[in-house]
Amino acid sequence: MSLALVAAPALARDPAVGPDATAVSVDAPPRPSRERARMNQRVFDRVWSEVRGQYYDPALHGVDWNGARRSFRPRALAAPDDRTLYRVLGEMLALLDDDHAGASAPAVARRLDTIHEPRAAIGVTLRPDPDRPGHYVVEAVREGSPAEAGGVTPGWRLDATGADAWSPELDVVEGQAVTLAFSDPEGTRRSLTLTPRIMQPRPSFMADLSRPGVAVLRVNAFDPGLGDWMGRQLAALPPETDVVLDLRGNPGGRLLEADAVLSCFLPRDLAWATRTTRSGRAIVLKTAGGCGDLEAPAANEVAVLVDSNSRSAAELTPAALQEAGRAVVVGEPTAGAVLISQDTRLPDGGRLSLSRSDFVTAGGVRLEKRGVTPDLKASAQDGAGGPDPVLELAIAALAPPAPSQAATTAAAPL
């Protein structure tokens, strides 16, 4: 398992619906089959044991983990389906108050495994509401997707609590319509029927060179190959071209790729963070190179864009560049979900994400529950209907100051 800096996966990315849910009787809730109960037991015991033996904090943030087992295990074993089982697991893991601790049902794990392949999708990214089990917040809506065509916008909420409601734990099925119960920020309920269709994967990294003197490098995730890609982009730029690194909405990713990105802008062997394992061993992280074929750090001026959905590796990167005085950070305070995690495959094909190491910056700042404070604050709402105000502010911050009128007059030829 590779080390990662990524918050627990959004549990309902590109959702779809499977077979109709079994009707639930108020007086007689469905009982699991013998095979189902056995699998529930295996999954629950694996999750509980992994947390007890592998979580980065051996004190488990003060949680009575044996007590949690007594409370949640009977409910987990009695779960008739994945939706019920993984909601029980989610409630138990929420006791840790850790955005990296999460269990993804098999259908969600399959979607995450095929995120770089053409697949059926509705085109929304949902994140569970920790205060309301069974409710999800729409974080992003993909361009050209069925969700966008249906009018779904970020900030809406999905209610999946009804017995017959669509649940993120169901597979995506091309052409099979699903009815979703949304509510907008004003609380107005909106029932939408959307039909998943095959969509091509979104590229993890994109370069926009449409603006004179500015290269906007958009990074959607710290996926394999990022360092090599960024090295190629930077090697092709003249030193006077300003670089804007856009990490908005980025959930994080591989630790090695985060180091590679930092190596693109910082000298080799520069300490940028310390991670502390469960045993208390402190490991200093230093830039190790890996920025493609770039022989030396890029000399370009740099700005980093962040927002409240920038997590993990997308927080440590701007924090390290900010502390080194190498970049100006622009946007909104980040999520404050910065621990080093690993995924474990569960017996039913689901996935457990769990923090294995604590993390502080080279300056000793613990970003968990705190996040990165931008040098210049701005949000997308600052320029509704106009150009991207966060990007425009970053470009302006990197631009050289205009000469004063006095200096212009003095330099004018006679």
Least confident range of 100-114, 117-131, 202-216: 117-131
Q: Residue 126's pLDDT band (boundaries 50, 70, 90)?
A: confident
Give the residue with greater pLDDT, 29 vs 32: 32
Whether 33 has a pLDDT exceeding 90, the answer reads yes
Whether 409 has a pLDDT exceeding 70, the answer reads no
Mean pLDDT of 26-51: 89
- Whole-number pLDDT of residue 402: 63
Q: Residue 414's pLDDT band (boundaries 50, 70, 90)?
A: very low
Residue found under tokens 């993390």 = 359
For a pLDDT cut of 90, what percent of the chain falls above it? Answer: 70
**Contact (CB, 8 A) for 190 and 184:** yes
Least confident range of 180-184, 247-251, 288-292, 377-381: 377-381
- Whole-number pLDDT of residue 369: 93
Whether 5 has a pLDDT exceeding 70, the answer reads no
Alpha-carbon gap, residue 264 to 235, rounded angstroms: 10
- Whole-number pLDDT of residue 16: 37
Whether 160 has a pLDDT exceeding 70, the answer reads yes
Residue 267: CB partners within 8 Å, gap ≥ 6? 287, 297
| The two three-digit tokens of residue 47, written as one number | 């999750």
Q: Is residue 77 left, alpha or beta, with left meaning phi > 0 and alpha meaning psi from -120 to 50?
A: alpha
If DSSP codes are grouped into helix, strand and coil, which group holds residue 407? Answer: helix
Selection from 388, 344, 340, 393 nearest residue 368 by Cα: 340
Q: What is the pLDDT of residues 307-322, one digit of tens each?
A: 999 999 999 999 999 9
Residue found under tokens 């560049």 = 321
Burial of 363-374, coded b for 16+ CB within 10 Å and e otherwise, reads eeeebbeebbeb
Mean confidence (pLDDT) of the chain: 88
Give the residue with greater pLDDT, 126 vs 217: 217
Q: Residue 413's pLDDT band (boundaries 50, 70, 90)?
A: very low
Residue found under tokens 């017996």 = 347
| Beta strands 340-345; 102-104: pairing state | unpaired
Give the residue with greater pLDDT, 26 vs 171: 171
Give the E-state strand segments of 84-151 in sequence order: 102-104, 119-121, 124-128, 135-141
Alpha-carbon gap, residue 40 to 321, rounded angstroms: 45
Burial of 186 (0-12, 13-18, 19+ CB in 10 A): exposed
Whether 122 has a pLDDT exceeding 80, the answer reads yes
Q: What angle do CA 223, 279, 370 make, to 5 degrees?
A: 55
Alpha-carbon gap, residue 171 to 367, rounded angstroms: 35
- Whole-number pLDDT of residue 48: 98
- Report the helix count and the strand count for the chain, using DSSP H and E: 10, 20
Alpha-carbon gap, residue 70 to 51, rounded angstroms: 15
Q: What is the pLDDT of residues 170-225, one digit of tens each?
A: 887 999 999 999 998 888 999 999 999 999 988 999 999 999 999 999 999 999 99
Burial of 194-203, coded b for 16+ CB within 10 Å and e otherwise, reads bbbbebeeee
Residue found under tokens 């062997």 = 269
For a pLDDT cut of 70, what percent of the chain falls above it? Answer: 89
Alpha-carbon gap, residue 317 to 89, rounded angstroms: 31
Q: What is the pLDDT of residues 226-255, one digit of tens each?
A: 999 999 999 999 999 999 999 999 999 999
Whether 265 has a pLDDT exceeding 80, the answer reads yes
Whether 404 has a pLDDT exceeding 80, the answer reads no
If DSSP codes are grouped into helix, strand and coil, which group holds residue 12? Answer: coil
Alpha-carbon gap, residue 194 to 139, rounded angstroms: 18
